[in-house]
Structure 1
Amino acid sequence: MTDNQTQFSVTPINKVRVSKRANYDKETVHAILDEGLIAQVGFVQDDQPFVLPMAYGRIGDQLYIHGAKATRMLKQLKLGLPICINVTLVDGLVVGRSAFHHSMNFRSVNIHGTARLVEDEKEKYDALVAITDHLAPGRWDETRETTQKEINATTVIALTIEQAAAKIRTGMPIDDEADYALDHWAGIVPITTAFGPAIDDTRLKEGIPVAESIRKLTSRR
Structure 2
Amino acid sequence: MHDVTASGWLEFLNMRTTKNPFSSPNSNEPDRLGEIYRAAAEIICDKGYDATSMNDIAEAVGITKAGLYHHISGKRNLLFRIMNFGLDSLEEQVIVPAGAIADAEQRLRAIITNHVQLITSRSTPRGNNPITIVVDEVAGLAPAHRRKVDQRKRVYVNLIRDTLKELKAQGRLRDIDITAASFSLLGMILWLSRWYNPKGRLTPEQISKEVTSMALSGILRPRTRRARR
TM-score tier after normalising by the smaller chain length: under 0.3
More helix per residue: 1 or 2? 2
- Select the structure of larger CA radius of gyration: 1
More strand per residue: 1 or 2? 1
Q: What is the TM-score when the length of structure 2 is the normalising length?
A: 0.27
